[in-house]
Amino acid sequence: MAYPVHRLRRLRKNENIRRLVRENHISVDDLIYPLFIEEGENIKKEIPSMPGIYRWSLDRIDEELDQVSDLGIPAVLLFGIPQHKDQIGSETWNEEGIIQKAIRHIKENHPDLYVITDVCFCEYTEHGHCGVLHGHDVANDPTLENTKKQVVSHAQAGADMVAPSGMMDGVVKAIREALDEAGFTEIPVMAYSAKYASAYYGPFRDAADSAPAFGDRRTYQMDPANRREALREVSFDIEEGADIVMVKPALSYLDIISDIKREFKLPVAAYNVSGEYSMIKAAGKLGWIDENKVMMETVLSMKRAGADIIITYHAKEIAKILKGQT
């Protein structure tokens, strides 16, 4: 029986009843905050295309970390910007590299924070691609060998979790084997399992100096037109030992998040990427939208689609709203 016996508006009468029947909630516990850490001193450099987001040097990073801790955000995701780049990204496994030093600094000064490291090469290579080149393409298996060295180096520095983002075939298996052989069996892997070759990454490439010097990344990142392929990528990563799987970007790929959540039992992360962040910031600055309301609705859509974890540059703003600070 439908109307008039059933009137769905009964459960929308006021805020209290809406709260009681609300199906999804955003919590600070859902959030991971990305950080850009640049080699050098006295650096706090705002990223022009990402208002409110900065590159930090280690001698100033506590300004940001203190806020993150005070807001109760449980985890950070680290991206490094080194001074030295080469053809293979060898700085990624340098024990005195910027990420390795950042991990040690955070674990010593902010032991409450859970430290996740992005595992890739694009910020560290002269050509800006995500591994070892063979001609104008990334050679998969040689890149896996270097990835093993990178993750072991991160683990030795004290990383709590590693997150491979390069979309190399077999990368989770390679990482799991390398970590286990080095004695780091307890370190989990959050795989960028369904990472699409997206135009939404533009501001990030400004932030991390990671734009490719030629071509694009469509030979290793996924075609935005493909949906079923994402399930294959995720299933392979799970077989290889992934502990968490990720969809990136999030907002234009809510169907992918939903498919993965329905099909698999692992935690699902959504990466609310730089372009999604910057569009809200730009429209908010122009007064075209209510920035905070659109921001919260956006991340709620990711939660509703099935995301257990949301990686977002809005994390501090969201946490402040949840704490009633804005």
Give residue-wise pLDDT tens across range 64-78. 999 999 999 999 999
Give residue-wise pLDDT tens across range 170-206. 999 999 999 999 999 999 999 999 999 999 998 887 7
- Of 13, 45, 148, 248, the catalytic one is 248
Q: Could you give the angle at the alpha carbon of 229 between the alpha carbons of 226 and 233, nearest 5°?
A: 135
- Of 37-46, 158-167, 208-217, the range with the lowest mean pLDDT is 208-217
How far apart CA 317 and CA 174 sit, in angstroms, is 37
- Of 44, 101, 148, 195, the catalytic one is 195
Give residue-wise pLDDT tens across range 89-104. 999 999 999 999 999 9
Predicted local distance difference test score (pLDDT) of residue 326: 78
Place of tokens 């516990």: 29
- Residue 320 appears among annotated catalytic residues: no
Statement: the pTM of the whole predicted model exceeds 0.85: yes
- Residue 316 appears among annotated catalytic residues: no
Give residue-wise pLDDT tens across range 243-264. 999 999 999 999 999 999 999 9
In the predicted model, is pLDDT for residue 29 greater than 90?
yes
Give residue-wise pLDDT tens across range 104-113. 999 999 999 9
